[in-house]
């Protein structure tokens, strides 16, 4: 099973995500609390910035503009780790 290492210096936290698990679900499984509300990619409460690594989305149109995506903003409730590299998340 593929596993990704995720680090969030703002929370002084590190955890692992497995295939098919959202970033939010993996954090919760590790006992790490990220902000969330709708959990379906619309409210933007969980919005974080991906400083390194890659994600793919469970839904076709996550609530982010193209510009926000380009700037690295992600929605952890519907984003899953992808690619080869570890992920680095920032809360702001």
The residues binding ligand FES (CB under 6 A) are 36-39, 41-46, 63, 75, 77
Nearer to ligand FES, 51 or 59 (CB): 59
| Least spacing, CB of residue 47 vs ligand FES, in Å | 7
Quote the strand ranges of 1-92, DSSP E.
Answer: 3-8, 13-18, 48-52, 54-57, 73-74, 79-82, 87-90
Nearer to ligand FES, 1 or 61 (CB): 61
| Least spacing, CB of residue 55 vs ligand FES, in Å | 13
| Least spacing, CB of residue 62 vs ligand FES, in Å | 7
Rounded Cα distance between 2 and 71, Å, is 27
Rounded Cα distance between 24 and 76, Å, is 5
Nearer to ligand FES, 15 or 48 (CB): 48
Nearer to ligand FES, 11 or 36 (CB): 36
Rounded Cα distance between 61 and 80, Å, is 14
Which token pair is 54?
């890659």
């Amino acid at each position: 099973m593929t596993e990704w290492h995720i680090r969030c210096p703002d929370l002084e936290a590190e955890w692992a995500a497995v295939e098919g698990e959202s970033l939010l679900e993996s954090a919760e499984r590790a006992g790490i609390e990220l902000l969330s509300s709708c959990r379906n990619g619309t409210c933007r409460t969980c919005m974080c910035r991906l400083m390194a690594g890659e994600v793919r989305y469970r839904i076709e149109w996550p609530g982010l503009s193209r510009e926000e995506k380009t700037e690295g903003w992600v929605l952890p409730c519907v984003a899953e780790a992808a690619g080869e590299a570890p992920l680095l998340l920032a809360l702001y």
